[in-house]
Chain A
Amino acid sequence: MAKAKKISKMQKVSRRQNKGLLYILPWLAGFCLLQLYPFVCSLYYSFTSYSGVGIPKLVWFANYIALFTTDSEFWNSLKVTCVYTLITVPGKLLLSLFIAMLMNQNIKGIGVFRTLYYIPSLFAGSIAVAILWKLMFMDDGIINSLLGNIGIGPVSWLGDKRTALITICLLEIWQFGSSMILFLAALKNVPQELYEAAWMDGAGNVRCFFSITIPQITPIILFNVINQSISALQNFTYASVITNGGPLKSTNVLALKLYKEAFAYQKYGYASALSWIMFLIILVITALLFRSSSAWVYYEDGGDF
């Protein structure tokens, strides 16, 4: 009797589980078809010399070996991608935190300013804004004519390998809105009594910022750093639209190289290998950031959710 009861309970549980599966079926189908399948496929292709036609020929590690030994462009692209990430992530974080602090004031009409500052982020990743940027930074664009008024330039922003990457980084940094909103939310959550206690003890604004504000918002800093690093390492649009990797390959980021290898040169196997290296790099960087977080991120609830 007891056994029968147990079985019927188990059946109930598994039936409930089935129902759960039914609910997430749309997501599961999408995940398997659009993420898992390409993911596994690209791993397989990375061991082949697949050119898009016929049956892929297995070459095992030849693509990976070529990447690290004969392809000097790979190292250049890796360097460009790293520089891009090292400029845009801190740049974007500092700017968004700064603006978020300004936006955290209680003055009239602050909502309008918040909206205005968020607008650039609505264009994120769009071709149109990339083209606009290109036009602004051309030799005879608006930036040079503004600089000309104060006696600087003209600077060949997109034609000089020393400035082209910076110009593209600026566009990425300019789109700081989503980080800013997150920072703003975090700033609003810092308990006011902490500041009051500190002021009572005679702490100034700077001291408050470093001893209260920063520690209190470290979880959001971590979140922003990870998110921005991942998107910076994968960036493609701006380098492709604004400079197409030039001049002298100074903006040829990994994602752009990958795109060219696959869709222009039809080296799908090689491009897949490159995408796996990119994936591993991103994985390692994310893991390191998480690892380091225990040392500098402060959770009010002790990290339990």
Chain B
Amino acid sequence: MKKTGERLKKTLALAVAAGMTMGMAACGNGTAETKDTENGQAAAAEQGASSAQETTAQSGEEHEAVTLRFMWWGGDERAEATLQVIEQFQELYPWITIEAEYGSDEGYLEKLTSQLNAGTEADIIQVGTGHMPGFINSGGDYFVDFLEYEDQIDLSGFEEGFLKENGNFDGHQYGLPTGVAGSALIYNEAMAQELGLDMTQEMTWDDLVELGKQVRETDETKYLLSMDSSMLNAVVFLPYMQQLTGEIFFDNDTCEMTFSREELVTGLEYIESLYENEVCVPISSVAAYGAALQTDPKWISGDTYVGVFCYSSTCETYTAACENAAFRGAWLPKLEDAKADGYMANCPQYMAVSRRSEHVEEALMFLDYFYNDENAAKTLGTVRSVPPTGTAQKICNENGLVSDIVAETVEICQQYNGYQGVGLVTYDEAGTLLEDMLVEIAYGEAAPEEAADKYIPLFQNFLDAQKNK
């Protein structure tokens, strides 16, 4: 009897253990499935397989089902157009499935960085112009060199010089520019007229301050500019410093600062004057909107700010948010005895293909379609600013797809020939330091001299760390 009891116990224990193991196995499967569904590869590959078979039946050619991942950031219009292009492409090549991974730019860099480090990045990736040098210099060898694949992707539509200046690193074309864009200053035409501002002429930085003062004197409820810390850095401070010193802020080759303490103080004094004279709205009142100033109700209502600094690739998000007003592009400010232009036309971002992708060929096929196909050009329009290739530009112009504001701001930034301000200075860490410094000035927390003395050693620490890499 006792024996039977023990046996029963044993059997029970075994059954429980078996159940648990099975449970684990099930869990295991579950995780695997989730993972695959996350990547969507298994399911999509199956789908692809069935459609591939159909095609094979139709065309007699045999293709293996391929799934690609394409990651980008941007607003709704960009997402819609890009998704449409993906659909068109998939119709043409039914055995290729492209999974879109898109969202806002918030956290994009962090996501991409950890994906690149972990080897889980998408096949086709939109990369920020400022972030590319960091990825290239990290020694990760993440992206394919498009020049090695010229037989698979037609680069003849790009102007050679433009391609060399945008996305080419030591002779390797790791990124393809997505458009022609540059810094922009847009303004509400009716409000400017009402306040008696003439913004149609070339202007100096001092003129900008005068315009700001004039706004406050005429109407206390209005400001000339809405401004966040990232634009204050990228589109005001850094161009100002480049015009002052004739060089980009950090030398990419020597990892040194290219300015003296006095020059930095001069730059910071100008930033201080923008806030002391209330040219820009107090930074505390727009802090909550981060870099998305177009979500500020005061911007949307169009009754507070005359204009904003942005890029020609993003100006449409501002004009779309403030529907009631008509906007124009103004000339970008310049020092009277500027040593360099500070501003230039470049590209808003790059398209890159991961070197670890198992389907580089198909990824290139997609980019070839993305850049060179007539339909794609029509669909994409100017969601990434004016397109970079001659054909796409022509198509956009013929079909009236380039909005006036984009055309105008691109035309304006093409008049400037400053140095490409990318490299060390656009590393995220450097950007944070610079923005912290400018925010201290904007809040009146530190005087220009104090800020310069505080931040020069911090810049030096950052540069020393880069030298030792």
Contacts and interface: CB of A to CB of B under 8 A. Distances in A.
Contact of A52 (B23, B113, B436, B469): B113
B138 A51 contact: yes
Nearest to B431: A264
A141 B439 CA distance: 23
A248 B441 CA distance: 10
Contacts of B429: 264-265
A70 B461 contact: yes
A280 B463 CA distance: 30
A137 B469 CA distance: 43
A248 B443 contact: yes
Interface size grouping (class) on chain B: 35 or more
Interface in B421-453: 427-429, 432, 436, 439-440, 443, 445
A29 to B, nearest CB: 8
Contacts of B286: 159
A263 B116 CA distance: 11
Nearest to B443: A248
A218 interface: no
14 contacts: A23-B17, A26-B23, A52-B113, A52-B116, A52-B117, A52-B138, A53-B140, A140-B297, A156-B285, A156-B287, A159-B287, A249-B436, A264-B113, A265-B428
Q: In this complex, which of A52, A161, A248 has the most chain B Cβ atoms within 10 angstroms of its Cβ?
A: A248
Contacts of A247: 283-284, 287, 439, 443
B139 interface: yes
B288 to A, nearest CB: 4
B445 A19 contact: no
B117 A19 contact: no
Q: In this complex, which of A19, A53, A158 has the most chain B Cβ atoms within 10 angstroms of its Cβ?
A: A53
A54 interface: yes
A53 B439 contact: no
A23 B287 contact: no
A266 B138 contact: yes
A266 B439 CA distance: 24
A159 B283 contact: yes
B17 A160 contact: no
Interface string B66-106: 00000000000000000000000000000000000000000
A247 B285 CA distance: 11
Interface string A23-39: 10110000000000000
Nearest to A138: B288
Contacts of B27: 26
A246 B138 contact: no
Contacts of A52: 113-114, 116-117, 138
Contact of B290 (A137, A244, A263): A244
Q: In this complex, which of A23, A26, A140, A265 has the most chain B Cβ atoms within 10 angstroms of its Cβ?
A: A265
B110 interface: yes
Shortest beta-carbon contacts, A-B, top 10: A159-B284, A52-B117, A159-B287, A263-B110, A265-B429, A158-B288, A53-B140, A264-B428, A156-B284, A138-B288
B8 interface: no
A260 interface: yes
A223 to B, nearest CB: 31
Interface string A158-178: 111100000000000000000
B138 A53 contact: yes
A13 interface: no
Nearest to A249: B436
Given A26-B24, A248-B440, A264-B428, A160 B284 contact: yes
B288 A264 contact: no
Given A51-B469, A156-B287, 12 more contacts: A26-B20, A52-B113, A53-B140, A140-B297, A159-B284, A160-B284, A247-B284, A248-B440, A263-B113, A264-B110, A265-B427, A265-B429
Nearest to B106: A244
A22 interface: yes
A247 B286 CA distance: 11
A134 B292 CA distance: 14
A266 B117 contact: yes
Contacts of B139: 53-54
A104 B360 CA distance: 66
A54 B24 CA distance: 34
Contacts of B428: 264-265
Contacts of A263: 110, 113-114
Given A159-B285, A159-B288, A22 B110 contact: no
B43 interface: no
A14 to B, nearest CB: 15
Contact of A246 (B110, B297, B439): B439
B456 interface: no
Contacts of A243: 287-288
B73 to A, nearest CB: 15
B447 to A, nearest CB: 15
Contacts of B138: 51-53, 266
A280 B429 CA distance: 26
B109 interface: yes
A244 B23 CA distance: 41
Interface string A4-30: 000000000000000100110110000
Contacts of B288: 134, 137-139, 158-159, 243
Nearest to A260: B432
Nearest to A71: B461
A13 to B, nearest CB: 15
Interface string A42-77: 000000000111100000000000000010000000
Interface in A118-152: 134, 137-140
B13 interface: yes
